[in-house]
Structure 1
Amino acid sequence: MVRILVVDDHPIVRAGIAGLLATEPDFEVVGEAASGEAALDLVSAARPDVVLMDLRMPGMGGVEATRRLTRLTASPPRVLVFTTYEEDDQILAAIEAGANGYLVKAAPADELAAGVRAVAAGQTVLAPSIAAQLVARAHAGPEDRAERGPRLTPREVEILRLVGDGMSNPEIAGRLFIGESTVKTHLLRAFEKLGVSDRTRAVTRAMECGIL
């Protein structure tokens, strides 16, 4: 049996992941945690083989929790990051902290189950989109990195394109079948990367950079 600790700050998401994993005959969900601190507290008692780790949580985030978990002297659990974020900085930070795999929440259930089994067996698992980003980054020279400008995720680009089409946040949420708060989160992250503070400037800046 593969013993799994699920770490995610959203109760419904966490329960859904735990319920999904519990349907696998060779998995046992031995605990759930809503923060990095709670995960560290649970590990010694629950003794998971794999920690399924979200990245952004209140208090201690997933990167720092991963760093601390992998430094445990007595048989540290293996860490599989499972998150919505696909940015270079997040990916590299998690891997440098010691994560053994990185999957995104858009992954189908069978891919998640296979990832957990592979990580438990000592393998490294990367979502295809994550692997492609890392390969592109490794192959890019200094000039390429300087010229690429802001790196937006495919979802951020998609949302900005819909903003450019004149759609409101509720309309975008309906089109993409995601929550309005998720739309706002993607937009805020795009604003930060583009160095702007409003929707109109975000679209024009993305066009200037050749993103749209």
Structure 2
Amino acid sequence: MSEPITVVLLDDHPLVMEGLNNRLNREPGIQVLKTFSDPLLFLSEVEALRPDVVVMDIRMPQLDGFEVVRRLKDQYGLSVKIILLSGYNYHEFQLKAYDLGVHAYLSKQATFGQIINAIHQSMLGHVLIPETMLSPNLEESLTATEREVLNRIALEMTNKEIAQDLAISQRTVEYHITSITQKFGVKSRIGAVVKGYQAGILGDVILPEKR
């Protein structure tokens, strides 16, 4: 029997968290390790818990949800999947969330089935992009950081070199590469570069000179 997917919930709305906690704990293959309403307490205990997936709100007291995501991604990269639940369906919020490395951005109106699906899909490495963000234009589908990563891949830089150049962790670089290949429908860095040239994304951007 395979190990259950371990989940931690972070939300300062007790009714939302209680309902989700009860539903997820009844779902076969999913185990909620702990719930938090305080993001600072969550960050102090997450290392000991090491959940597979964190399901969290954006707007919380004491610490902004985006900052929580940033800290998690800097420390754990792809090893911790993050699903954001938000009452704010602003396009700029979605872009910022995916640029930071979340696996799903769901409305707080999402059904339990949609949240459970997002948990399972994230464990498969899939990034769930809202339909409102999908664009037939490949360049528009990439975040600003993904475009910078793609440009550096085309220059044959290693993941370590890209991380140093962009001042982000190597795990975060790996996430962005995974996201790029999924959006482009390719399976490798080389495939992403080829698709980038075909779409006219590469070749037009000049990287800043290193100091």
Q: Return the TM-score normalized by structure 1.
A: 0.59
Q: Which amino acid aligns with 2:93?
A: Q
Task: Say whether the 8 Å CA contact 1:37–1:59 is kept in structure 2.
Answer: yes
1:74 deviates by 7.9
Q: Which amino acid aligns with 2:85?
A: F
Report the counterpart of residue 83 of structure 1 in structure 2. 86
Report the counterpart of residue 63 of structure 1 in structure 2. 66
Q: Secondary structure at the match of 2:46?
A: helix
Q: Secondary structure at the match of 1:51?
A: strand
Q: Which amino acid aligns with 1:135?
A: S
Does 2:42 align with 1:39? yes
Report the counterpart of residue 29 of structure 1 in structure 2. 32
1:131 deviates by 2.8
Does 2:164 align with 1:131? no
Structure 2: gaps spanning 5 or more residues:
142-211
1:38 deviates by 2.4
Post-superposition CA distance 1:23-71 (Å, at most 9, x none): 1010000011113322212211211000001100001121110010011
Report the counterpart of residue 107 of structure 2 in structure 1. 104
Q: Which amino acid aligns with 1:110?
A: G
Does 2:134 align with 1:116? no
74 and 133 in structure 1: CA distance in 2 versus 1, 3 angstrom threshold? closer
Structure 1: gaps spanning 5 or more residues:
140-212
Q: Secondary structure at the match of 2:106?
A: strand
Identity of matched residues, % = 28
Between stretches 44-53 and 33-42, larger displacement belongs to 33-42
Post-superposition CA distance 1:146-182 (Å, at most 9, x none): xxxxxxxxxxxxxxxxxxxxxxxxxxxxxxxxxxxxx
Post-superposition CA distance 1:76-100 (Å, at most 9, x none): 4111111221001211121122211
Q: Secondary structure at the match of 1:41?
A: helix
Distance in 2 (alpha carbons) for counterparts of 1:120 and 1:69: 16
Distance in 1 (alpha carbons) for counterparts of 2:124 and 2:45: 22
Q: Which amino acid aligns with 2:125?
A: G
Q: Secondary structure at the match of 1:31?
A: strand
Does 2:97 align with 1:94? yes
RMSD, aligned CA:
2.1
Task: Say whether the 8 Å CA contact 1:82–1:105 is kept in structure 2.
Answer: yes
Distance in 1 (alpha carbons) for counterparts of 2:132 and 2:79: 28
Aligned residues: 136
Task: Say whether the 8 Å CA contact 2:20–2:112 is kept in structure 1.
Answer: no
Q: Which amino acid aligns with 2:74?
A: R
Distance in 1 (alpha carbons) for counterparts of 2:134 and 2:41: 30
Distance in 2 (alpha carbons) for counterparts of 1:86 and 1:73: 26
- Larger RCO, structures 1/2 (Cα 8 Å, 6+ apart): 2
